[in-house]
Homo-oligomer: A and B are copies of this chain.
């Protein structure tokens, strides 16, 4: 399989496959005489794993750890769970930060009459000195 075929099969762009190779997240594939990368079915599995982990918000560094656990038949599920829980805590923090922004903004937007008048609590809040 050429890179385009694996890309399509794994939903990871060719661009990203090359990038993952360059940063050592995946091993360099073999090449044809012309220098084309050659892939196999197991590479599709690997890339799908990566893609799925990305979709769950894991960073490439975390994925690196997940992959090494995936590869290790001796792994303890506790190690995987710990990684997942760290990531959940991270998601929680981000969600909380965004939610706080949202709450403040909604309050401000509700206070803004939103008509032709220049008077606006949103701008007033932005301009107010914080204590």
Report A's interface with B, CB cutoff 8 A: 11, 45, 48-49, 52-53, 55-57, 66, 69-70, 72-78, 80-82, 84-85, 87-88, 91-92, 94-95, 98-99, 101-102, 104-106, 108-109, 112-120, 122-123, 125-130
What are 13 A-B pairs at a CB distance below 8 A? A45-B129, A48-B130, A49-B126, A53-B126, A69-B123, A76-B116, A77-B120, A77-B122, A80-B112, A80-B123, A81-B112, A84-B108, A91-B102
Known contacts A98-B98, A104-B56: A77-B127 contact under CB 8 Å:
no
Q: Which residues of B contact A70 (CB under 8 A)?
A: 123, 126-127
Q: Which of B55, B77, B84, B113 lies in contact with A77, CB distance below 8 A?
A: B113
